[in-house]
Amino acid sequence: MGNAFDIVIIGGGINGCGIARDAAGRGYSVCLAEMNDLASATSSGSTKLIHGGLRYLEYYEFRLVREALKEREVLWHLAPHIIWPLRFVLPHHKGLRPAWLLRLGLFLYDHLGGRCHLGGTRTLDMRTDAAGTPLKPLFSKAFEYSDCWVNDARLVVLNARDAADRGATILPRTKAIAARREGGQWQVTLEAANGDRRTVTAKLLVNAAGPWVDNVLGEALGRNEAQNIRLVQGSHIVVRRLFDHDRCYIFQNSDGRIIFAIPYEDDFTLIGTTDRDYEGDPAKVAISADETAYLCEAASDYFADPVTPDDVVWTYSAVRPLYDDGATAAHQATRDYVLKVDDEEGAAPVINIFGGKITTYRKLAETVMERIGDFLGDKGAPWTETAPLPGGDFAITGYDALVAELAKTYPFLDEEHAARLVRLYGTRAWNLLGAAANHSDLGAHFGYDLYEVEVRYLVENEWATTADDILWRRTKRGLRLTQDNKETLAHFLKDNMKDGRLAAAQ
């Protein structure tokens, strides 16, 4: 592994990994350093939607909404295993936004982004539609529209995987502790989790550290100027499944905010998000009792059966690094991205990234590549719009057929297991299972449908090293496994892991 690169990227979230993929695919030499696991912060703490952002229309963010709406179908085609359409039910609340305003917003939503394959808006009679059954009787009318779901952490990992397949060096658990300009390029000191240090050189530096973008500027780059970043905490709760259909709800709240209630991992409902300014350490962010109560109360305003804090089985919280546009309330702050470029007389530039949303990460990467081309020279045209992510090389209508094909190849898998593997790995599920001919070939069983063969695949191909990497970011099986199961997996990894690799299976 060499130490001289065209580009060094600090940050292994969706923006950093998306840029690494695009740059590597154009022929640049790329090194990405992430101080923790990939997608370990903001990028795995989203509401897990690929959406235009209906509520952003209220703040006249038409460019952002148009770009995001176009990206929905682009990303769906690139990764149909981890991105798929959902229908969203928006009940009309007589005390809040009037029906004509909702219709106008949804009309714009349908037509701003060149929708091709996603269904359009329709009006629902909640007295007869199944979507009305779990709600209070006072909600007699609703509007239904389309957006998409995404497995956010896997989107990050798959971008990193494809970047590596195209030649990028991906270094999770490696912190950039110092960077300085010398001789028209960057000297970047990287420190691995075991304390080992190495220095790499780069013609250009990308600061995609998310909530830590200012920390990188101050601690690693030695820059003290104030940057326009606003840290906003968003928290979610997960409860047992609240309704029997597969549609989502979008609820208006009296404070002007909205929350979603989304089917999650088959047997659960995801409710979120909150929006509040955050001033602490992003690494220590956690949902507060007030946030839990807020989400429960907001959901209970709509559901016939109240949601209480006792119903919560899991929570997660993340800090969004928004660009500070001077908005009064956190939920009004722009979700658009802003690039700040600093260079030394045209040499050794650093591109700092502020804001952005998961839906527009690919467009952000293309915008960054334009700036990189200004400094390093263009090495290739944009290409990611039509190149599937790993495992996503099948038709958007082909999921069921792929599950059936996997089950036929591996008849010892039950239908639920086969479906889960296709949802996570797409066509690469065959790479994971290899020559397995029966359950015993899957290796040690860690509970539910998690086996050693999958754990090994994640360690060897997706940079997983801990139980949390596997259970909460790459598979979400943390919701299913018992505490004993989790400890067994943790011990297996600890006992068999050395230098990021597992000992050979016995």
Reported as a single tens digit per residue, the pLDDT across 190-238 is 999 999 999 999 999 999 999 999 889 888 787 765 567 899 999 999 9
Across the strands, what pairs with 197? Answer: 191
Across the strands, what pairs with 505? Answer: none
Same domain, 101 and 210: no
CB 335 within 8 A of CB 64: yes
Q: How far apart are CA 22 and CA 386, in angstroms?
A: 12
Whether residue 47 lies inside any domain: the answer is: no
Domain of residue 165, residue span: 4-42+153-228+335-376
Total domains, the chain = 3
Q: How far apart are CA 127 and CA 139, in angstroms?
A: 8
Provide the CATH number for the domain around residue 253: 3.30.9.10
Whether residue 287 lies inside any domain: the answer is: yes
Same domain, 123 and 169: no
pLDDT at site 329: 73
- Mean pLDDT computed over 160-188: 97
Instruction: List Cβ neighbours of 417 (8 Å cut-off, separation of 6 or more).
Output: 449
pLDDT one-digit tens code per residue, 453-483: 999 999 999 999 999 999 999 999 999 999 9
Same domain, 252 and 318: yes
- How do 347-355 and 49-50 pair as beta strands? unpaired
Same domain, 410 and 366: no
Same domain, 369 and 434: no
Q: Which tokens belong to 473?
A: 């970011």
What single-letter DSSP state applies at residue 208? Answer: -
CB 41 within 8 A of CB 210: yes
- Mean pLDDT computed over 497-504: 87
The reported pTM is 0.97
Q: Which tokens belong to 74?
A: 């682009």
Same domain, 208 and 256: no
Angle at 479 between CA 483 and CA 75, to 5 degrees: 145
Q: How far apart are CA 258 and CA 271, in angstroms?
A: 11
Half-sphere exposure (CA, 13 Å, Cβ side) for 89?
26
| Burial class of residue 114, CB neighbours in 10 A (0-12, 13-18, 19+) | exposed
Average confidence score pLDDT of the chain: 95
Provide the CATH number for the domain around residue 414: 1.10.8.870
Band of the pLDDT at 328, cuts 50, 70, 90? low
- Mean pLDDT computed over 22-47: 98
Q: In what helix (H) or strand (E) does residue 385 lie, and over which residues does it extend?
A: none
Same domain, 126 and 250: yes
Provide the CATH number for the domain around residue 160: 3.50.50.60
Q: How many residues does the chain have?
A: 506
Across the strands, what pairs with 22? Answer: none
Same domain, 214 and 235: no
Q: Which tokens belong to 51?
A: 């959406």
Mapped onto helix, strand or coil, the DSSP state of residue 141 is strand
Q: Could you tell me what percent of the chain has a pLDDT over 70?
A: 98
Same domain, 213 and 160: yes
Instruction: List Cβ neighbours of 128 (8 Å cut-off, separation of 6 or more).
Output: none
